Amino acid sequence: MNIIDAFSDPAFSLPKYNNKEIFPLTLESIYQEFFTVLDKIDEGSIVDKIKENKTTLHSFCDRLLQSVNTYYSGFPSKAYFEFEEALTFIADFLFPEKAGSVAINPDEPYYRARQWESIQFDRKQMFHVPFEKREFVTTKRFSIPGLPCLYLSNSVYVCWEELQQPDINKMQVSRLKRENYGFKFLDLSFSPHNVEQMLKGVTSDLVGKGITIPGQPLDNFARIALVYIMRWPLIAACSIKVKERGGSFKPEYIIPQFLLQWVRLNKEIDGIKYFSIEANIQPKATHSLSQFANYAIPTKEIKYSGYCPFLTKSFSITEPVSFATLKDQIPNIMEHNKEKFAIAVYKVGFDNIGATLMVDDTEVLYWHTVFGKIEIELSHMPLEKISND
């Protein structure tokens, strides 16, 4: 088996499902299947590197499992330190100067949405939950109860999916822009399919530059594959769908919340970029999971009230709009306006350029959907920073 075939194997597919009686058994099963496929890889320059790193990879997975079991035993603090220890096994693949983070494009747009009935939100209400209202911060995938974070998506479509597909007319959306050029994210947004496509475009006999892997230099092909293999157990542990949505305790959130805590303590990384496990990936759609991206950015400067000064300095934001309001202002909004799109195309980001969504069993260009139309209109709206009080 070669590495591309391995990434196509169901063992590598994401997201995962909690289908065992208890969550630790689900995670253990996921890793067992992962190693079974790794053992079958017997072609290419990656084989020797997998063998060299397999002990480290086993230790990493064992520590993650140990952390989850310790949490189940009623010792969350000890469990976190075990998680922190686990990350030391793959530290060379996580830190900014190595292979595990991404400096985001400061001009790339980000979106944040909220549902509404009759209240028109303002810019501040579209930012993170203010510190004096932290009791409303509940447990979610990358959300520690009580810790305000700024959650963003790379498209209005992802916002809609993350809100469980509300009435599009009752969803207000703001566009945000980065103002801090040194921002760094731990990038967990690559899906196996995305990496597979990257590998198919890489010439294996060319020596790559820019990413340092301990040991001998690797060619482009093997380096990309090894980085992803070493990080996959963490990505998988953060990409497990919740079995009991109504439950107060969601074990699927243990590792993602520990990772957010780790990022909160790490001065070299500002947030986490991850793919949406809510987005509906349709067979004919040109999107991959990696294009359905979210960002979790924990607050850094904690106050008793107001907003994080670091984040208010780092982002500008538009006033929120709803599709209902846009329709009133622009009755023909769903018609394609070439001139307006030509101006907006440089502001709406490149993840969705050429992408399609399935609408009523018909493949439609993203920019012809209601989500694309909202993004085009938002691209023309003024951006302002909010005060931190």
- Is residue 27 within 8 A of residue 237, CB to CB? The reply is yes
Q: How far apart are CA 101 and CA 268, in angstroms?
A: 10
Residue 322 lies in a domain: no
State the 10-residue block means of pLDDT for the chain, 389 residues long.
92 93 96 97 88 96 98 98 97 64 65 88 96 94 94 93 93 93 84 81 45 48 88 96 92 97 91 83 46 90 94 96 94 85 69 72 85 92 93
| Domain containing residue 44 | 3-98+183-296
Q: How far apart are CA 287 and CA 252, in angstroms?
A: 25
Q: How far is CA 182 from CA 92, 245, 253, 307, 313, in A?
A: 20, 37, 29, 20, 12
* 3-state class (DSSP) for residue 132: helix
pLDDT at residue 57, rounded to an integer: 97
Residue 263 lies in a domain: yes
Residue 107 lies in a domain: no
Tally of structural domains, the chain: 1
Q: How far apart are CA 5 and CA 264, in angstroms?
A: 37
Q: How far is CA 34 from CA 14, 94, 162, 231, 308, in A?
A: 12, 20, 28, 12, 40
Run of H or E including 348: none
- Is residue 176 within 8 A of residue 109, CB to CB? The reply is yes
Q: How far is CA 126 from CA 106, 233, 243, 345, 372, in A?
A: 20, 33, 29, 24, 20
Q: Name the CA dihedral angle for 347, 184, 143, 179, rounded to a multiple of 10 degrees.
A: -40
* 3-state class (DSSP) for residue 225: helix
Residue 286 lies in a domain: yes
- Is residue 90 within 8 A of residue 231, CB to CB? The reply is yes
Residue 292 lies in a domain: yes
Residue 133 lies in a domain: no
Residue 378 lies in a domain: no
Exposed, middle or buried, 227 (CB in 10 Å: 0-12/13-18/19+)?
A: buried
What is the token pair recorded at 307? Answer: 């907003």
Cα of 121 vs its chain's centroid, Å: 26
